[in-house]
């Protein structure tokens, strides 16, 4: 890598292990809280452990941002060793984690830390991390990488559908009445990550088949050349294999992307989506 640039993200990116190892990406963990127990995401709580606990828990877990000290601890050894740091983080509208990274930069008193707001989460964040890693490996300068990240962020999209409204009600995103009516009508909400990096309900459909078609149609509406892009087909735990296959086939047929990547949603998005969720990120 050129001029020793160390790439970091946070655990909210759900960065698949294969990419984490291939590009030696540092991951700063957020915390997940079940009742009185606090866990470090990906450190002493694996993805599968999270989903198992989630299924057993009556209350929704809470996620807690990484604090400035976590970033200082992660960054300092690399700074001392002469590295420059590029940290690509979860949307500042979804977590205070990015603000913690800015505070860590101030505490360390250096201009060798670059903090980039993905304005996304989960695999939407990972897609930017992978692009940056590939460019750094090819010897691109940091300024070129940052310019490309800004372009990709401006044209990115994320749409997901959830299996049940229970978790949105538990998390206070929907009222009990809205949840009850929606469940009776078998409504599948389509959520999206907005340009500003917030999550909102974008549409409502009546069946899984219609939900899958809508996810792909929403991506098509962006009018991008997907032949130049990587599209991620992502699920939360408990999504049926055949439904996942169906979504992958639809993406291949309608979008014809350069590459289809797959991933599993982790605690940060999974807490609100619940099990059986499906998403596409690009």
Tens-digit pLDDT string for the chain (282 aa): 447 999 999 999 999 999 999 999 999 999 999 999 999 999 999 988 999 998 888 888 988 999 999 999 999 999 999 999 999 999 999 999 999 999 999 999 999 999 999 999 999 999 999 999 999 999 999 999 999 999 999 999 999 998 776 666 666 666 777 766 666 667 888 989 999 998 888 999 999 999 999 999 999 999 999 999 999 999 988 888 899 999 999 999 999 999 999 999 998 878 877 888 999 999
| Residues 183 and 273 grouped into a single domain | yes
How far, rounded to the nearest angstrom, does the alpha carbon of residue 214 sit from its chain's CA centroid?
Answer: 20
Domain coverage including residue 125? 5-30+65-154
| Residues 147 and 166 grouped into a single domain | no
Please report how many Cα atoms fall inside a 13 Å half-sphere around the Cα of residue 93, on the Cβ side. 12
CA 46, CA 273: separation in Å to the nearest integer? 18
Buried b vs exposed e over 91-114: b needs ≥16 C-beta within 10 Å?
Answer: bbebbbbbebbbbbbeebeeebbb
| Residues 175 and 133 grouped into a single domain | no
Question: If 0-12 CB within 10 Å is exposed, 13-18 middle and 19+ buried, where does residue 58 land?
Answer: exposed
Q: What is the CATH number of the domain that holds 108?
A: 3.40.50.10170
The owner of tokens 């993805």 is 47
Secondary structure (DSSP) of 28-46? EPPEEEETTEEEEBTTTB-
| Residues 12 and 129 grouped into a single domain | yes
**Residue 41, phi then psi, degrees to nearest 5:** -55, 120
Q: What is the CATH number of the domain that holds 193?
A: 3.30.1180.10
| Residues 175 and 198 grouped into a single domain | yes
| Residues 179 and 266 grouped into a single domain | yes
pTM of the model as a whole:
0.92
Cβ atoms of 44 and 50 closer than 8 Å: no
Query: What confidence score (pLDDT) does residue 83 get?
Result: 98
| Residues 138 and 174 grouped into a single domain | no
Query: What confidence score (pLDDT) does residue 259 get?
Result: 96
Query: What confidence score (pLDDT) does residue 1 get?
Result: 41
CA 206, CA 223: separation in Å to the nearest integer? 26
Nearest CA among 99, 62, 85, 105 for reference residue 9: 85
Residue 61 per-residue DSSP state: P
| Residues 144 and 197 grouped into a single domain | no
**Residue 93, phi then psi, degrees to nearest 5:** -85, -15
Residue 104 covered by a domain: yes
Residue 231: Cβ within 10 Å count: 24
Instruction: Please count the structural domains in the chain.
Output: 2
Question: If 0-12 CB within 10 Å is exposed, 13-18 middle and 19+ buried, where does residue 90 land?
Answer: buried
Query: What confidence score (pLDDT) does residue 274 get?
Result: 82
| Residues 173 and 263 grouped into a single domain | yes
CA 89, CA 16: separation in Å to the nearest integer? 15
């Amino acid at each position: 890598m050129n001029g020793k640039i160390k790439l970091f993200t946070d655990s909210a990116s759900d960065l698949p292990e294969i990419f984490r190892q291939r590009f030696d990406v540092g991951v700063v963990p957020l915390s997940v809280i079940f009742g009185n127990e606090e866990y470090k995401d990906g450190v002493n709580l694996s993805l599968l452990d999270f989903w198992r606990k989630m299924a057993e828990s009556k209350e929704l877990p809470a996620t807690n941002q990484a604090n400035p000290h976590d970033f200082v601890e992660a960054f300092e050894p690399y700074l001392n060793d002469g590295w420059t740091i590029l940290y690509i983080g979860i949307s500042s509208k979804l977590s205070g984690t990015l603000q913690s990274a800015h505070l860590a930069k101030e505490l360390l008193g250096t201009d060798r830390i670059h903090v980039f707001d993905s304005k996304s989460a989960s695999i939407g964040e990972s897609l930017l991390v992978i692009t940056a890693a590939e460019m750094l490996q090819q010897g691109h300068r940091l300024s070129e990488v940052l310019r490309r990240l800004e372009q990709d962020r401006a044209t990115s999209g994320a749409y997901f559908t959830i299996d049940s409204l229970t978790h949105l009600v538990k998390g206070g995103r929907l009222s009990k009445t809205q949840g009850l009516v929606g469940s009776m009508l078998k409504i599948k909400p389509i959520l999206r990550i907005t340009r500003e990096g917030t999550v909102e309900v974008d549409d409502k459909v009546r069946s899984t088949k219609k939900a899958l078609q809508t996810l792909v149609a929403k991506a098509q509406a962006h009018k991008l050349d997907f032949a130049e892009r990587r599209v991620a087909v992502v699920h939360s735990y408990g999504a049926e294999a055949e439904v996942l296959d169906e979504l992958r086939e639809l993406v291949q047929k309608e979008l014809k992307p350069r590459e289809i990547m797959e991933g599993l949603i982790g605690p940060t998005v999974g807490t609100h989506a619940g099990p059986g969720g499906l998403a596409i990120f690009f």
